[in-house]
Amino acid sequence: MAHATPTLEENMMDPPRGYEEGAGVYNEKLGMWVFLGSEIMFFTALIGSYIILRVAHPEAWKPPGEVLNVPLTAINTFLLICSSVTMVKAFAAIQDGNLAGLKRWLIATVIIGAGFVGVQVFEYIHLVNDGFVPSEGLYGSTFYTMTGFHGFHVTVGVICLMYVTWRAFQGKYSAADHRGVEVVGLYWHFVDLVWIILFTIVYLI
């Protein structure tokens, strides 16, 4: 069981050397997955409350499309899926050591992600102008809390992505070490995944 002293040339994408076998992935990736477990529980509280309240008072909700703008949100959903694929393309690029590709795809992801937030703000403004506010019964309460906190997560994701992009422009990532890209990517895809669920249960059901 001889271990070489790790050097900078080592592949940083491997689990830490010299320790007992752990999760089989490097710390940051494991940490992000553990953190996502916590995020799952946070959205469980919000989405779970929504389901419970809706089971208790089905009459407080309107049929899909009546209050909420489904076509607009469908476009927004599509945007978020686009940003997921650009993110994963960025990851694939740096896996192959393609720094230029990484920068390109990251910028695309940041722009599309910011676009999602923009559309959501636009949607909120219109809904509020139409009198659909958080204090409008259970429908408004759950809608704004769930989509609002999702939007907050997207915003945080965009900020993190901007940081990663900045680091990419400084050339900090390589085929041997692109932990930052992968970890932020995991978070970003998770946010996309939550939106997939939210879009269905909030807008379509």
Contacting other proteins within 48-87 (CB under 8 A): 48-49, 51-53, 55-57, 60, 64-65, 70, 74, 77-78, 81-82, 84-85, 87
Nearest to 77 by CA among 121, 41, 112, 40: 112
Work out how close the CB of 26 gets to other proteins at its nearest, in angstroms, rounded to a whole number.
6
Buried b / exposed e across 161-190, counting CB within 10 Å, b at 16+?
bbebbeebeeeebeeebbebbbbbbbbbbb
Half-sphere exposure in the Cβ direction for 13 (13 Å, CA): 14
Work out how close the CB of 101 gets to other proteins at its nearest, in angstroms, rounded to a whole number.
12
Token pair for 21: 């076998």
Work out whether 22 is an interface residue with other proteins (CB under 8 A). yes
Work out how close the CB of 204 gets to other proteins at its nearest, in angstroms, rounded to a whole number.
4
The DSSP 8-state label assigned to residue 205 in this structure reads -
Annotate each residue in 96-135 with x if it binds other proteins (CB under 8 A) or - if it does not, as one string. Answer: --------------------------------------xx
Name residues contacting other proteins, limited to 152-181 (CB under 8 A): none
Opening angle at CA 156, ends 151 and 157, nearest 5: 90
CA separation for the pair 68, 146 (Å, rounded): 14
Which of 30, 67, 117, 162 touches other proteins by CB under 8 A? Answer: 30
Residue for token pair 């879009």:
199
Residues composing the chain: 205
Work out whether 23 is an interface residue with other proteins (CB under 8 A). yes
Work out whether 145 is an interface residue with other proteins (CB under 8 A). yes
Which of 67, 107, 138, 162 touches other proteins by CB under 8 A? Answer: 138
Token pair for 187: 């978070």
Taking the least distance from each CB to other proteins, the nearer of 145 and 155 is 145
Work out how close the CB of 118 gets to other proteins at its nearest, in angstroms, rounded to a whole number.
20
